[in-house]
Amino acid sequence: MDNITRVAKLSETKYQTRFGVNKPTFDAMLAILEKAYKEMRRKGGRKRKLSVLDMLIVWFAYMHDYRTMEDIGFDYTCHKQRICEAIAWVEDTLVKDGTFSLPSKRELIKDSTEIVIAIVDATECETERPQKNRRNLTPANTSAIRSKTKL
């Protein structure tokens, strides 16, 4: 069964458990990616092995489920390099769009946030180890070692 029918059969609550986002957010991400893909392929070019929906699902599998690229590539019968390219493209496209970006550090500081300082004692402690001397070392029988190497 392809991903189009599988995603169409998902209920509203399953989107949250499967992808980590709700259905309207998933649909908004998909619309942004489809628009960017059409613009990128406007002049033509080779069709990608993974569809836009597949690339979004691959990105969620990598980010939400912490699956490896090789494992995802095995499921989609393609090399992990194609999976890496798909993940990078989805991530870059969503960041460039700005709809799903986080606020900047300056905006966070401008708000009336309370700064909490935690002090941790991280002083170094010496580890007690036995001193090395000749009595603690195990002497090796050098003549037995030499006789084995001559054989």
pLDDT value for 46: 84
Q: What is the distance between the alpha carbons of residues 53 and 4, in angstroms, rounded to a whole number?
A: 7
> Which pTM does this prediction carry?
0.66
Residues 6+ away with beta carbon under 8 Å from 48: 55, 86
| CB-CB contact of 59 with 90 (8 Å) | yes
Q: How confident is the model over 139-150, as a mean pLDDT?
A: 58
The better pLDDT of the pair 119, 5 is held by 5
For 48-57, b/e burial (b = at least 16 CB within 10 A) is bebebbbbbb
Say whether pLDDT at 139 is over 80.
no
pLDDT band with cut points at 50, 70 and 90 for residue 144: low
Name the percent of the chain lying above pLDDT 90.
38
pLDDT in tens, 88-110: 999 999 999 988 877 777 776 77
pLDDT in tens, 50-59: 999 999 999 9
Nearest CA-CA partner of 12 in 2, 24, 30, 28 = 24
pLDDT in tens, 13-32: 888 888 888 899 999 999 99
